[in-house]
Amino acid sequence: MAGRMEAAAAGDDDYTQDGTVDLRGNPVLRSKRGDRKACGFVVVSEVFERMAYYGISSNLTTKLHQGTVSSVNNVTNWVGTIWMTPILGAYIIDAHLGRYRTFMIASLIYLIGMSLLTLAVSVPSLKPPKCGAGTPDPSCSEEASSLQLGVFFVALYILAVGTGGTKPNISTIGADQFDDHHPRERRHKLSFFNWWMFSIFFGTLFANTVLVYLQDNVGYALPTLGLAVSIAIFTAGTPFYRHKPTSGSSFARMARVIVAAARKLAVTLPDDARELHELDDPEQGGGEEDHAAAILSKAAVKTNTTSRWSLSTVTQVEETKQILKMLPVLAVTFVPAAMMAQVNTLFVKQGTTLDRRVGGGSFEIPPASLQAFVTISMLVSVVLYDRVFMPLMARATGNPRGITLLQRMGVGLVIHIAIMGIASATERHRLAVARAHGVADSKGTTIPLTIFVLLPQFVLMGVADAFLEVAKIEFFYDQAPEGMKSLGTSYAMTSLGVGNFLSSLLLSTVAHVTRRHGGGGGWIQNNLNASRLDHYYAFFAVLNCVNLVFFFLVCRLYVYNAEVSGVVDVGGSGGGEGGEVLRPKEVAMVDTNL
């Protein structure tokens, strides 16, 4: 109560204007909480969390001594689950606990899963024995027992439950620290997702270099320690965070709109949109809309019943439209997400067949360490994009982001086509060298070809991430309604989850079809030297081309939401993706807690 009385007496600019509060629900002083000061704790904690996550996920294909298809699919299925559980997390966040409390509880579950996984790969009785000098021998026949498999996968999926509450939360909490209604903070927010991804990949770089090497030679305790440090850093920032109040279940609100619209299919929309339920501003509404959107609008037509399942507000209808219209964009991201899954699966498997010595000496780099080059190129690309490309393009286009979010995603999709074309050509060369030296049929024999021949596909994947992945998470956060930001952010996670499941499906299907109808052992075998991954990667290139055509169609049909910015000039003549900045009263969408 004291906080609310103090807020009433203070000037408007002293307190945030975007509805953020402290954990007790009181308004917060702009100078005391949020902005870069609070965001620093979030970003640094994410660096350590990424170290922990990628420290384990980059090295899983070799731990259970399974064949190529089984080991790769186990990883992609687990990673797919990791990125799908945020949908459940988003529900808990919006409907019950809020972002901060959900994050703290989920972090503890995450830590329990990591601790159990550490035991599963460290205690001799819980892991299969090594079958050769150094790293596990590809020709190993010592498979994991049922107990070992059980403990290993229970740990992985406990961990997946934990990440379901952290991944849709942490970036959203970071973005919530910036008030869109304040010019300085809005400028800071425009760069937030660039630096957010920078922090993720900085942690990934450490994981794919130092941690991968230490795990091969020491053990898995360091990723668990890194996660504990991450949780501690985030908790230390608690006094500085701003929080968005919970607004009820996004899924329930959307379901009520859809049910209400279905019940009123025969109802005619009024000519005057002001006759719809809860549209109070006489200057708003009445624009043309497509058939599907018009059907949803019927949910707000007033009839004889006021049941929540028969009558929705205009705000609820518009929120539902915003969430649903992003689904085609979400669908476009599934194929590139499946391509990303190859980085820590088949790309790493290729590396195990090549000469890993550095400088001709005895030191060998772990194959998973090549993922560091994805990270390095992504870090460099993000910095250049934020500091050079974005300011130059902003002056040319008038868009403070330089180019629109969908245009940025489109550049990433084009790069994905190039990646798979190069990967196919490189694999064709690797197989030619294997045949030339008579090791094509020899399982586990190193090909006299340096592992660094794979560098182009790793480096380009980092460049693609700087365009596609950053734009994707910003797009789904930015275009989601105010009360559904967690659900919007979970779309970006869902994209990666579906992409990994799609990768598993494609790998199994292609392996089965080519084995049955293609002669020989098929395109994907346990012996990569006898496989035809070059054909598989060429298939991916074609799939990316088809996806790009679909993306162009989606872009032509998508209409960006207007941005609320009555006070900002961030270096261009426009603020929205369409080049138009609207003041709060001019925005058709109204944010209410329902």
Band of pLDDT at residue 563, cut at 50, 70 and 90: low
The per-residue pLDDT for range 150-186, each reduced to its tens digit, is 888 888 889 888 888 887 778 888 888 888 888 888 8
pLDDT average, residue stretch 298-313: 85
Q: Are 500 and 77 in contact (CB under 8 A)?
A: yes
Tell me: pLDDT of 566 over 50: no
262 and 188 inside one domain: no
| Domain assignment of residue 563, yes or no | no
Q: What is the pLDDT of residue 59?
A: 55
Q: Is a pLDDT exceeding 90 seen at residue 357?
A: no
Q: Is residue 386 part of a domain?
A: yes
Taking alpha carbons only, the member of 148, 202, 144, 194 closest to residue 171 is 194
**Domain membership flag for residue 280:** no
Question: Quick one: 178 exposed, middle or buried, by C-beta within 10 A (0-12, 13-18, 19+)?
Answer: buried
Q: What does pLDDT average to over the chain? A: 79
Residues 551-565, mean pLDDT to the nearest whole number: 80
pLDDT of the residue at 580: 38
Mark whether 308 and 349 lie in a shared domain: no
pLDDT for 9 equals 44
Selected residue with higher pLDDT from 477 and 207: 477
- Sequential DSSP letters for 360-418: TSS-B--GGGGHHHHHHHHHHHHHHIIIIIHHHHHHHHS-TTSS-HHHHHHHHHHHHHH
Whether the pLDDT of residue 435 is over 80: the answer is yes
Residues 371 and 515 in one domain: yes
pLDDT band at 412 (very low <50, low <70, confident <90, very high): very high
pLDDT of residue 277: 78
pLDDT at residue 142 tops 50: yes
Q: Is residue 111 scored above 90 in pLDDT?
A: yes
- 521-531 pLDDT, tens digit per residue, is 788 887 888 88
Q: Are residues 71 and 189 in the same domain?
A: yes
For residue 291, name the pLDDT band (cuts at 50, 70, 90): low
> Region 261-266: what's the mean pLDDT?
89
263 and 222 share a domain? no
Residues 154 and 303 in one domain: no
In a domain, 278, yes or no: no
Mean pLDDT of 19-36: 84
Question: Across residues 303-313, what is the average pLDDT?
Answer: 84
- Burial class of 83 by CB neighbour count within 10 A (0 to 12, 13 to 18, 19+): buried
Tell which residue, 216, 213, 201, 203, has the closest CA to residue 459.
201
* Domain match, 306 and 325 both: no
**Average pLDDT over every residue of 309-318:** 87
Tell me the CATH number at 48: 1.20.1250.20
Ranges 95-104, 142-151, 577-586: which has the least confidence = 577-586
Query: Would 579 be classed as within a structural domain?
Result: no
Band (pLDDT 50/70/90 cuts) for residue 189 is confident
Q: Which residues of 128-155 are buried (b: 16+ CB within 10 A; e: fewer)?
A: beeeeeebbbbebeeebeeebbebbbeb
412 with 526, same domain: the answer is yes
- Say what the pLDDT of residue 137 is: 45
In a domain, 286, yes or no: no
pLDDT score at 150: 81
Q: Residue 497 belongs to what domain range?
A: 319-557
Q: What is the pLDDT of residues 55-103, one digit of tens each?
A: 766 555 555 555 566 666 777 777 778 777 887 887 888 777 888 898 9
Residue 297 and residue 290: Cα distance in Å, rounded? 11
- The whole-number pLDDT of residue 573 equals 35
Same domain, 373 and 440: yes
Same domain, 52 and 85: yes
Put simply, whether the predicted model's pTM sits higher than 0.95 gets the answer no
Residue 549 lies in a domain: yes
- Whether residues 60 and 186 share a domain: the answer is yes
- Percent of the chain with pLDDT strictly greater than 90: 23
Better-scored residue on pLDDT, 343 or 54? 343
Please check whether residue 133 lies inside any domain of the structure: no
How confident is the model over 324-346, as pLDDT tens digits?
Answer: 999 999 999 999 999 988 887 78
497 and 399, same domain (yes or no) = yes
Per DSSP bridges, beta strands 354-355 and 447-450 are parallel
pLDDT at res. 121: 74
**Number of domains making up the chain:** 3
- Least confident among 87-91, 517-521, 582-586: 582-586
